[in-house]
Amino acid sequence: MARRRSFVSILAILLLLHAYIGLRLLPALDAGVIGMLAGAVLLAVSAALVRIGLVAPSLRRTRWTEPLTWAGLLAMGLFSSLFVLTLLRDLLLVALALGGAGGPGFTHDSAVAVPLLALAITCIGFVNARRVARVVKVEVPIDGLPEDLHGYSIAQISDIHVGPTIRRPYLNAIVTKVNALRPDAIAITGDLVDGSVQRLAMHTEPLARLSAPDGAFFVTGNHEYYSGAEQWIAEVRRLGLRVLLNEHVIRRRGGAKLMIAGVTDYTAQHFNPAHKSDPHLAAAGAPDDVAVRILLAHQPRTAPAAADAGFDLQLSGHTHGGQFFPWNLFVPLQQPFVAGLNRVRSLWVYTSRGTGYWGPPKRFGAPSEITLVRLVPGRV
């Protein structure tokens, strides 16, 4: 009963938001009664599809599940742009009216432009999201880096979100591209999946092909905890990856030692108190002569604790770089960084834009990435 009420209430909100779009655009289009009715029907269908998209990972599997999922998630992406552009149009109309500008012609033309622009952004975003992530090369300067570690490389992938629309072929292409980089180590910094092991095990199988001399590592993201973290930890281990749960490994190059540590997701304790994220625990017991300390942490906001624990570099994801406008504007409300290489005291923090996408198959202004991080000498 509670679930049904939730479904109805969310659908009601979506209908109201779609009604706002209709009331602001349809009369200005001068499409006549038939056009108004057709527009209203399309908006109502969009509201229903967006509601389906919101629950896509948990839909019961039937012959209609896949097409409904795609339709729902595409509608979600289109609705997002349509709503934002409608709101921006209204603000512009108010500004023009206050300035004595605008007029009926602009009102009509802008009403035509909003859905066309929303559709164009959604189509471009779809192409950007579905193509294989590009490789982004990042050099991180480390003070006093031993010569044996010059050029040490880690291939980072993050936020793939294998699930409703990201399946085995998509992940297989990513794995092939990562292996082609021939990194010293591979790091998956969380949010690998959106769904249970039972549903997605066959689609995550390509991870077993990941290969690097110093190993492939995985840390949990918040979406693993939505999807059954314990089961996914076991499954990722079965595939041959080393899962780092507030722990570390030591790797050697010649006479130099490097530590690769990993913590559970920043919010993990809300799902499992035993999984509380702890950079200090991850570093505990490390040899004193470790030259470089690297931490894998899903969320950038782990950085202050990582700096306190003495790490030199933190690799994170979670933000998707905002994925598409305007959500990039909201990321700083929760996270210290949106994307790229940043500094927290003596700690470097690299935040990936993510290798897949969440929800709508749409990326606009925030391209997906496979990151190749190389250690280079810094100033002593």
190 and 158 both lie in a single domain: yes
The CATH number of the domain holding residue 373 is: 3.60.21.10
pTM of the full predicted structure? Answer: 0.93
162 and 281 both lie in a single domain: yes
Per-residue pLDDT at 379: 66
The average pLDDT across 333-344 equals: 94
The total of structural domains in the chain comes to: 2
**352-378 per-position pLDDT tens digit:** 999 999 999 999 999 999 999 999 998
Residue-number span of the structural domain to which 227 is assigned: 134-378
122 and 156 both lie in a single domain: no
44 and 191 both lie in a single domain: no
State which of 68, 96, 130 marks the end of a domain. 130
State which of 81, 114, 130 marks the end of a domain. 130
Q: Is 6 a residue whose pLDDT tops 60?
A: no
Residue 274: exposure state from Cβ atoms within 10 A (0-12, 13-18, ≥19):
exposed
Q: Is 52 a residue whose pLDDT tops 80?
A: yes
Per-residue pLDDT at 1: 53
Per-residue pLDDT at 138: 98
Confidence of residue 64 (pLDDT cuts 50, 70, 90): confident
Give the percent of the chain with pLDDT over 70: 97
46 and 107 both lie in a single domain: yes
205 and 353 both lie in a single domain: yes
125 and 254 both lie in a single domain: no
For the chain, how far is it from start to end, CA to CA, in angstroms? 64
167 and 267 both lie in a single domain: yes
138 and 217 both lie in a single domain: yes
120 and 151 both lie in a single domain: no
Per-residue pLDDT at 380: 45
Residue 197's closest CA among 142, 237, 139, 157? 237
Most confident residue range from 36-45, 92-101, 216-225, 332-341: 216-225
Residue 123's closest CA among 135, 115, 134, 112? 115
Per-residue pLDDT at 7: 58
Question: Using H for helix, E for strand and C for coil, what is the string for the chain?
Answer: CHHHHHHHHHHHHHHHHHHHHHHHHHHHHCCHHHHHHHHHHHHHHHHHHHHHHHCHHHCCCCCCHHHHHHHHHHHHHHHHHHHHHHHHHHHHHHHHHHCCCCCHHHHHHHHHHHHHHHHHHHHHHHHHHHCCCEEEEEEEEEECCCHHHCCCEEEEECCCCECCCCCHHHHHHHHHHHHHCCCCEEEEECCCECCCHHHHHHHHHHHHHCCCCCCEEEECCHHHHHCCHHHHHHHHHHCCCEECCCEEEEEEECCEEEEEEECCCCCHHHCCHHHCCCHHHHHCCCCCCEEEEEEECCCHHHHHHHHHCCCCEEEECCCHHHCECCHHHCHHHCCCCCCEEEEECCEEEEECCCCCCCCCCCCECCCCEEEEEEEEEECC
**pLDDT averaged over the chain?**
93
Q: Is 2 a residue whose pLDDT tops 70?
A: no
Q: Are 196 and 231 in contact (CB under 8 A)?
A: yes
State which of 104, 130, 156 marks the end of a domain. 130
73 and 145 both lie in a single domain: no
Q: Is 213 a residue whose pLDDT tops 90?
A: yes
Residue 245's closest CA among 297, 291, 290? 297
196 and 278 both lie in a single domain: yes
* Distance of alpha carbon 294 from alpha carbon 139, whole angstroms: 14
